[in-house]
Amino acid sequence: MQNAEHLQGLYVLTNEHLQAPDQLLPAVAAAIAGGCRIVQYRDKTSSDILRAQQARQLQALCRDTKTLLIINDDIRLARECRAHGLHLGKDDADIQTARKQLGNDCIIGVSCYNDISLALTAEKAGADYVAFGSFYKSGIKPDAVQAELDMLTSARKKLRIPIVAIGGISAENAPQLISAGADMLAVISAVFAQTNIEASARELSDLFISSR
């Protein structure tokens, strides 16, 4: 998969409750300016028309900035906006269906919560990355399944594909996730709920430089 080498670093997820529709694009542009390498467009409540419009705008921004755009859960939207990839949760389509509709070059990521066996199954089925979490209490998903650092360390030894850590991540707790084996840190509030989005993204992005 041609984009696999870019699956490292800061991975931001959009949230329709943190920015007004006309502020989404500037917010994501600021995160990219701060070093974000992957953007996931996630919107569960807006109209199909608005979601299609925003996805197209984000695709153009990500194309121009050489940033990966991942669509959450929506195969049709990912195909129509020509996103780089799709992220699947436990109640979404299976990997084979997504791959058949989106092609071999599409990045497919899978949420595996705190279950390494799910991740191994996803890897075998052709996933390009897996995500574990929530590692810390999340204001966005307060009832999310909790994952432990030692599970992340174990997963790093067993998996060949990149790993995303998600859930309550901040600049203070992020270093231990990177040390435990996370290739990417997926954040929402730590970037998009901050007054200075670019600076907040830069603080997290720089952790990957200092860890090398």
- Residues designated as active site: 42, 111, 141
Beta pairing class for 184-187 and 129-132: unpaired
What is the 8-class DSSP label of residue 146?
A: P
Token look-up 């996933």 returns 127
Where in 60-117 does DSSP place strands (E)?
68-72, 85-88, 107-113
From the number of C-beta atoms within 10 Å of its C-beta (0-12, 13-18, 19+), residue 154 rates as: middle
Query: In sequence order, what are the residues at sequence separation of 6 or more whose Cβ sits closer than 8 angstroms to the Cβ of residue 127?
Result: 95, 108, 109, 110, 161
Sheet strands (E) in the chain? 9-13, 38-41, 68-72, 85-88, 107-113, 129-132, 163-166, 184-187
Q: Report how far residue 102's alpha carbon sits from residue 9's, in angstroms, rounded to the nearest whole number.
A: 24
> CA 102 to CA 203: how far, in whole Å?
34
